[in-house]
Amino acid sequence: MHVHHDKIELRTKGKGTYEITDEVQEKVNQSGVRNGTVTVFVQHTSCSLTTMENAAPAARRDVERFFDELVPEDADYEHDDEGPDDMPAHIRMVLTRSSETIPIADGRIQMGTWQGVFLFEHRRDAHSRKISVTIIGE
C-alpha cells in the first residue's frame, strides 16, 4: 500500500464544465497503482467538482443553465467584493462537491460508461485551477 500525490492544473476560460476524467486516469497510470482509490480534491471555493453525463453536450448545458437560474448573479448578496459572479460561485460550490473518491481496479478508475469527472467553473474570468489527486492503493 502506498500514497501518491499529484496535481492537475487547469486553465479555465469562464463559466462551464471542464472534463478531467482522462487526466485523472493518466495520474493513476503514472502511479502504478492497480487497486485502491483516487481522491480528487479541488483547492478552491469558487469552482467545484462533479461527476456527470459526459456524452451529451446538451445535458451539460442544461446543468449549467439550471445553476444559473437556481443561484442567480443578480440576486441581492451581501458579499459582492469581486463582482456579481463572486457570491453565486461560492454557493454553487457548496451545492456541488469539493472531493470525489473513485475506486481503482486493475489500474482503471471504475466509472460508468457515460460518467465523467468535471471541474465546474463558476467564475466568468479565466482562472488557473489546482486539483489535488491522491492515489492510495497497491
Instruction: Output phi, psi for 92, to 5 deg.
Output: -65, -35
- Is residue 66 a contact point for its own copies (CB under 8 A)? yes
How many CB atoms are located within 10 Å of the residue 25 CB? 18
- Is residue 28 a contact point for its own copies (CB under 8 A)? no
Spatial distance between the Cα atoms of 99 and 96, rounded to a whole number of angstroms: 10
- Is residue 134 a contact point for its own copies (CB under 8 A)? yes
Residue 69 contacts by C-beta under 8 Å, 6 or more apart in sequence?
A: none
Among 95, 108, 125, 126, binds its own copies (CB under 8 A): 95
Among 13, 14, 22, 61, binds its own copies (CB under 8 A): 61
- Is residue 30 a contact point for its own copies (CB under 8 A)? no
Query: Where would I find the beta strands (DSSP E) of 20-58?
Result: 36-42, 47-53
Q: Which is nearer to its own copies, 5 or 13 (CB)?
A: 5
Task: Name the minimum Å distance from CB 14 to its own copies.
Answer: 19
Q: Which is nearer to its own copies, 124 or 132 (CB)?
A: 132
Residue 18 contacts by C-beta under 8 Å, 6 or more apart in sequence?
A: 10, 12, 118, 119, 120, 121
- Is residue 44 a contact point for its own copies (CB under 8 A)? yes
- Is residue 50 a contact point for its own copies (CB under 8 A)? yes
Among 100, 107, 124, 127, binds its own copies (CB under 8 A): 100
Task: Name the minimum Å distance from CB 89 to its own copies.
Answer: 9
DSSP state, residue 35: S
